[in-house]
Structure 1
Amino acid sequence: MKQEKLNSFLGWPLVAVLILGMASAEIYNYSSADRPLAFVRRYKPSVNIQPKNISPDKGEPLYSGDTLRTNESGYAAVQFMDKSFAKVKPNSELTVRGEVNNDKSTSTRIALEAGEIFMEVTQRSENNFEVATSKSVASVKGTEFGVRSDNYAWVEEGIVEFTSSATGQTVSLTERMYGQVNDDNTITTGELTEEDLQKLRSDFESLGSETGEPQKMRLRFRDENGQIREIEIEYYENNEEGAGNNNDN
């Protein structure tokens, strides 16, 4: 059974996921079958989540198959269970799929149907993380990169394996590189200038920093070995004006 809407909102920017946190944290129990892949950490002014068709007041878990949409003025920050996270620009739509074995082993695929996201993926060998568009797949094991739904990817740090879905052509994009799948399904690559990078990054800096004292949420689940594990997440309340009051997506 999927958990009801969370009472606490996950804040911005990325904060550490800690094992065995303080006893004061709110506790949420999950079975191996209903563990979420990610949480909406912060948004402004609203987001919409399908198939639940909700715009959360404070935060919401994302399960495999859930779709998150932002409207023309909306931004969102999504934290995954392995501490990877995504910044989502306005007019974007993405669907998350995958599974979580424990806090160090995840398999995640984001289908980006519209818009643009920026990812920071944790560097752990057990992780399998992909972002797919209509013509491309970006596969990573720890990096900072952006993907647009028009089959364009760019790398700020690390390495991305960028593949044309139609032809199977794969190129390695490293720091300050971009890749674009063309109409004929071939891939064009190139170098980015510092000015290019700054322009690409600037749109993702609209979400402000945290304010006030951090809140805590403890997630309890049974791992693949049958052991009970706890993960504690620190987060900040979202005080954005107008948050949660818009359901027009």
Structure 2
Amino acid sequence: MCTVTWRFRHRGYDLFFNRDELNSRAHEIAPSVDESTGVRFIAPRDGDQGGTWLLANEYGITVCLLNDYANPWCPEPAKSRFSRGQIVLAMADVPAVGEILPRFETQPLVHTAPFQLLALSPEDDPLLLHWHGAGLSSRQGNISPPILISSSFATADVIAARLGHFARFVPRPEQPKLSELAAFHRQHDPAAGAFSVAMHRPDAATRSFTRVSVDRQSVTLTYEPVGWHRGECANQVVRVLARHTDSVSAVT
């Protein structure tokens, strides 16, 4: 139950992510700067499993996750399931998008429910990996329009509705404006429930808005919890990393 959009710009990009979740799930943990094998990264955390749905590292790589609710495949037995958010964390130290697929293939995917993983960098085309239970598919190249959507409720209808909102907010999807994407992610109709981009229904809601901005000098992650969920604080959290010098020289 999430929506992600992005735009590339000179030597960088912006990515927006709405995380939608069941009200029964634990509170999110605000993003912090951590390290994996000496590589710094920023990630919010899932309060239940400790994984994450999104991270950005000092190489300017962003990796994010969307569940594939339309796929009925399930790992067996249930007790051996592996958290999808841990697979995102396993990518925390990658210096280039080209290293993601080989590492992804070493993960315990057969114990993981279906999902899609998106990776962006300033130097490469987007990489989209899809674990669908029967196997793994990958594609790297332009994704048009630049949006991915998931929903556990009326999946096809919700995706169609949000794509309709996207078309209205972003009339030129090949060149989306920052302000257009920001406004799209906050689209909310109280009567529309799951069909809004910032959604709110009796059993689930958008938990947070996250934006990642990458340029030649820095990686900035801005995180804002949505205040309607169980009284969570709606204060914005901003974390910044200096770009790793190797990644900066690669785009000079």
Normalising by structure 2, we get a TM-score of 0.34
Relative to its length, the structure with more strand (as a share) is 1
Normalising by structure 1, we get a TM-score of 0.34
